[in-house]
Structure 1
Amino acid sequence: MRALCILAAGLALSGCSPQVQDAFAREAARSVVTRVVVERFPGLPVEPAIDCVIDNATAAQIRALASDAALGPTPATAEVVGQIITKPETINCLGTRGLPVLLQQAG
């Protein structure tokens, strides 16, 4: 049923502008990235980590993650998130956005 709803939403979006489609895909990707970050990277501050992953994902990675949002994370989802997290720009982002949150939690 959930997959059918996602399919219907995708068909409805086909007439939307590229910006609206991108925003929808990013939001769908966020939902699945959240689950992967919480499960696989429990020490990371969730919101900054999700932002860093989404901000540093390619368009193809966003589409792949968004498509996984319908049925939930798979091993392929975790692999894509892992690829994004290990990019130098994502690591820099995590250091800039995530480290202050970690330090606040420790203090």
Structure 2
Amino acid sequence: MVILAVTLAGCNAQAQDEIARAAARSTTSKVLAQRLPGVPLQPAVNCVIDNASSQQILALAADSVTGPTESTFQIVSGIIQKPETLTCLAAEGLPALLR
């Protein structure tokens, strides 16, 4: 967590967002692979990250340092349940699954 905070502190806002999103993607990928095996990861991760709040992104990014916890799973689950995430998964995730 300290490493992430130090890294983010030395960056401008856009770079901070990109670093946090990349770290959040890593964590989300691990959660989805563990909890939803067989789901095409890249489209699903994109849908989750694109529909996460900034607070959720930061929480997921912090968990990239320590590894996923039960809280991580709850955050990802909450994002997946949003109507806009479900719409994204239907549009992006299902076609990838059917290929």
Instruction: Please name the residue that 2:48 is paired with.
Output: 53
User: Mind listing any 5+ residue stretches in structure 2 that lack a counterpart?
Assistant: none
Instruction: Please name the residue that 1:19 is paired with.
Output: 14
Runs of 4+ aligned structure 1 residues displaced above 6 Å come to: none
CA contact (8 A) 2:51 2:85 kept: yes
Q: CA RMSD in A?
A: 1.2
How many angstroms does 1:19 deviate by? 0.6
Does residue 95 of structure 1 match 2:90? yes
Aligned length: 99
**TM-score relative to the length of structure 1:** 0.87
2:75 and 2:7 map into 1 onto residues whose CA distance is 26
How many angstroms does 1:9 deviate by? 4.6
Pick the aligned partner of 1:43 from 34, 38, 44: 38
Listed one character per residue, the Cα deviations across residues 21-70 of structure 1 (whole Å, up to 9, x for unaligned) are: 00000000011101100000113211100000000000000000001110
2:38 and 2:4 map into 1 onto residues whose CA distance is 34
2:3 and 2:96 map into 1 onto residues whose CA distance is 38
**TM-score relative to the length of structure 2:** 0.94
User: Mind listing any 5+ residue stretches in structure 1 that lack a counterpart?
Assistant: 1-5
Task: Please tell me the residue identity of whatever aligns with 2:45.
Answer: I
Task: Please tell me the residue identity of whatever aligns with 2:52.
Answer: A
User: How much identity, in percent, do the aligned residues show?
Assistant: 49
Instruction: Please name the residue that 1:34 is paired with.
Output: 29
